Amino acid sequence: MITELTDSDSYCEIIKNSAKPKLVFFFTGGCSVCEVVKQVVSELSCEFEGNIDFFSLNLDKIPAIRTLLDIRTAPAITLHKENKLADVFIGAVNKDYLRAGLMKILT
């Protein structure tokens, strides 16, 4: 399951306060690559359910987050472990590559 974040404050809260590893998927509307990556993230959220928390954030609805996090393009994915940034994926990413990144933050 993917939880949609609706503001930059909720993003900051989940990063600071969750003990579990996290994936945050940043996307924009009308982005065909974002739709493809969203499907990959959705499938992996089922596979890693209970072990990693999954979130999505629409950059069109919260443009300030682009500046706050220096996100220059979408889609973008950030992985967080122990409340710190562990990895970043930009653009189209295949399922196996992203799965490997998720496995890495679980170890």
**pLDDT means per 10 residues in the chain (107 residues)?**
86 82 95 96 97 95 87 94 92 96 94
Check which CATH number belongs to the domain holding 90 and give it: 3.40.30.10
Q: Are 90 and 73 in contact (CB under 8 A)?
A: yes
By residue range, what is the domain housing residue 92? 2-106
**Domains in the chain, number:** 1
Give the CA distances from residue 40 to residues 13, 33, 88, 94, 100, in Å, rounded to whole numbers and listed in that order: 25, 11, 15, 7, 13
**pLDDT reported for residue 7:** 82
Alpha helices in the chain (DSSP H): 8-17, 32-47, 64-69, 95-106
**pLDDT reported for residue 72:** 87
